[in-house]
Amino acid sequence: MIVELRGVCHGYRRGADLVEVLGGVDLCLDPGDFVAVMGASGTGKSTLLHILGCLLRPAGGSYLLDGEQLQGRPERELAALRSRRIAHVFQMFYLLPHLDVVQNVALPFLYQEGLSRSEVRYRVDDAIDRVGLGQRRKHRPAELSGGELQRVAIARALAPRPDLILADEPTGNLDARTGGDILDLFQAMNDDGHTIVMVTHDRHVASRAGRLVTLRDGTLHDG
Ligand SMILES: Nc1ncnc2c1ncn2[C@@H]1O[C@H](COP(=O)(O)OP(=O)(O)OP(=O)(O)O)[C@@H](O)[C@H]1O
Ligand SMILES: [Mg+2]
């Protein structure tokens, strides 16, 4: 099993109150699973992805990644795991405004050792071509459309070929055709054995995944 969440809880402070968002989430993923997560706005889907991506420590419960317990591990170990194994396509793109497309997509490789410069260059160019931005390599974020920004963020996540891909509404800003191309890309990554968790509000998009779960009242339900 690549991911094993047991009884994961999390909440946020709102003034003096602690508002519970996740109230005991269980989720098991085998390598090569492709899971869609649905649920109403504000139910905690992004929170769940942040926990899966080791960006947020859950307030309770346990998270085993590849059989290793993550609870209590120091931040630098989580950061290393993240850069080696996990990619996150965020709802907000977090692209660096002063860098062009190639430089943004190459960012994750700054934290990855053991790859030659030519291999990095190949993976970056390949990812940019796959999202259809070959003609935009030298553009900076301010010179790109919303859908193009989304595709840069996807290229950046996929270029290092991570084991676990977490995508928060990856087709939310795209027209049907480009969205379809991006889903084909996820499908191809999944066929190559990458595990994918994708949040979406669109049933048609969700149907491309092998499994659907819905977040409701703080817990995950099948279907
Ligand atoms: N950093 C934070 N501090 C306080 N409250 C937060 C924080 N992040 C999220 N929340 C609250 O937690 C709840 C769940 O947020 P989350 O972003 O996980 O929902 P979501 O299911 O991804 O929603 P959407 O579909 O709109 O993206 C929301 O009510 C939100 O206001
Ligand atoms: Mg969200």
Give me the CATH number covering residue 117: 3.40.50.300
pLDDT of res. 91 = 80
pLDDT of res. 28 = 97
Q: Considering the domain boundaries, does residue 18 fall inside one?
A: no
Task: Please identify which residue in the block is written with the tokens 């977090």.
Answer: 94
Q: Which ligand is nearest to the CA of 89?
A: 2
Q: Considering the domain boundaries, does residue 203 fall inside one?
A: yes
Q: Considering the domain boundaries, does residue 172 fall inside one?
A: yes
Q: What is the CB neighbour count within 10 angstroms for residue 56?
A: 14
Q: Considering the domain boundaries, does residue 56 fall inside one?
A: no
Mean pLDDT by 10 residues, the chain (223 residues): 96 93 97 97 97 95 93 90 88 91 93 86 95 96 92 92 93 86 89 95 94 97 93
Task: Work out how many domains the chain is built from and give that number.
Answer: 1
Contact 195, 163 (CB under 8 A): yes
CB of 123 within 6 A of ligand 1: the answer is no
Cα separation values, 145 from 83, 126, 148, 175, 188, Å: 27, 21, 5, 12, 25
Residue minimizing CA distance to atom 5 of ligand 1:
12
Q: Considering the domain boundaries, does residue 71 fall inside one?
A: no
Q: What is the CB neighbour count within 10 angstroms for residue 110?
A: 9
pLDDT of res. 17 = 92
Cα separation values, 56 from 79, 182, 210, Å: 11, 27, 26
Q: Considering the domain boundaries, does residue 34 fall inside one?
A: yes
Residue minimizing CA distance to atom 24 of ligand 1:
41
pLDDT of res. 181 = 84
Q: What is the CA radius of gyration of the chain?
A: 17
Contact 68, 5 (CB under 8 A): no
Task: Please identify which residue in the block is written with the tokens 């931005």.
Answer: 133
Is the backbone of residue 77 left (phi > 0), alpha (psi -120 to 50) or beta? alpha
Q: Considering the domain boundaries, does residue 52 fall inside one?
A: no
For 204, the domain range is 30-46+82-222
Centroid of ligand 2 to alpha carbon of 90 (angstroms): 9
Q: Which ligand is nearest to the CA of 41?
A: 1
* Phi, then psi, of 92 in degrees rounded to 5: -95, 145
Q: Considering the domain boundaries, does residue 61 fall inside one?
A: no
